[in-house]
Amino acid sequence: MMPIEWILFAASLFFLISILVSKISVRVGVPALLLFLALGMLAGSDGILGIYFDDPWLSQAVGVVALAYILFSGGLDTRWDDVRPVLRQGLLMSTVGVTVTALAVGWFVQAFFGFSWLEGILLGAIISSTDAAAVFSVLRGKSVQLKGRLKPLLELESGSNDPMAVFLTLGMIFLIGQPETSPLALIPMFIQQMGIGALFGVAGARGLAWLLNRIRLEYDGLYPVLTLAGVLLIYGGTATLSGNGFLAVYLAGVLLARQDFIHKRSLLQFHDGIAWLMQIAMFLTLGLQVFPSQLPGVIAMGLAVGAFLSLVARPVSVMLALLGSGMSWREQAFISWVGLRGAAPIVLATFPLLAGVESANQIFNLVFFIVLVSVLLQGSLIVPAAKLLGVYETAYRAPRTPLAFVMDDGRIGDNLLEVPITAYCAIVGSQIIDLGLPSGVLVALIGRANDTIVPNGGTVIESGDRLLLVTNAALRDEVTSMLLRQEE
* Any domain includes 393: no
Consecutive 10-residue averages of pLDDT for the chain (488 residues):
79 84 67 78 79 85 91 85 85 92 95 92 91 66 68 83 90 90 90 94 94 85 93 95 92 90 86 88 85 88 93 93 88 88 86 89 91 83 84 60 44 72 87 84 87 85 90 82 80
CATH number at residue 338: 1.20.1530.20
User: What's the total number of domains in the chain?
Assistant: 2
Domain termination site, one of 388, 423, 441: 388
DSSP annotation string for 55-97: -HHHHHHHHHHHHHHHHHHHHHT--HHHHGGGHHHHHHIIIII
Query: Is the residue at 397 inside a domain?
Result: no
CA 80/CA 273 separation, integer angstroms: 22
Q: What sign results for the dihedral spanned by CA atoms 54, 58, 61, 66? A: negative
Q: Would you call 331 helix, strand, or coil by DSSP?
A: helix
* 225 and 360 assigned to the same domain: yes
Q: Is residue 4 part of a domain?
A: no
Q: How many CB atoms lie within 10 A of CB 107?
A: 17
Question: Which alpha helices (H) appear in 290-419, and where do they start and end?
Answer: 299-308, 314-321, 329-337, 343-355, 360-373, 379-380, 382-388
Q: CA geometry: angle at 479 spanning 473 and 484, to 5°?
A: 135
Residue that is last in its domain, among 327, 353, 388: 388
Is 155 within the bounds of a domain? yes
Q: Do the beta carbons of residue 341 and residue 158 sit within 8 Å?
A: no
258 and 375: one domain? yes
d(CA 312, CA 309) in angstroms, rounded, equals 6
- State the Cα–Cα distance between residues 423 and 368, nearest whole angstrom: 29
- Do 351 and 448 belong together in one domain? no
Does residue 416 share a domain with residue 377?
A: no
What distance, in Å, lies between the first and last C-alpha atoms of the chain?
52
The answer on 425 and 305 residing in a single domain is no
187 occurs within a structural domain: yes
Asked whether residue 384 falls in the same domain as residue 438, the answer is: no
Same domain, 365 and 480: no
Residue-number span of the structural domain to which 300 is assigned: 11-388
Considering the domain boundaries, does residue 177 fall inside one? Answer: yes
Considering the domain architecture, whether residues 43 and 130 belong to the same structural domain is answered as yes
Give the pTM.
0.74
Q: Are residues 312 and 440 located together in one domain of the fold? A: no
According to DSSP H, which parts of 357-437 are helical?
360-373, 379-380, 382-388
**What's the confidence (pLDDT) of residue 410?**
42
pLDDT at 333: 92
pLDDT of residue 142: 52
Whether 244 and 153 map to the same domain: the answer is: yes
Same domain, 223 and 83: yes
User: Where among 388, 414, 438 does a domain terminate?
Assistant: 388
Residue 334 lies in a domain: yes
Q: Is residue 107 part of a domain?
A: yes
Q: What is the CATH number of the domain that holds 426?
A: 3.30.70.1450
Instruction: Tell me, yes or no, whether 375 and 458 share the same domain.
Output: no
Q: Report in angstroms the alpha-carbon separations of 471 from 62, 257, 406, 413, 476.
A: 50, 33, 15, 10, 7
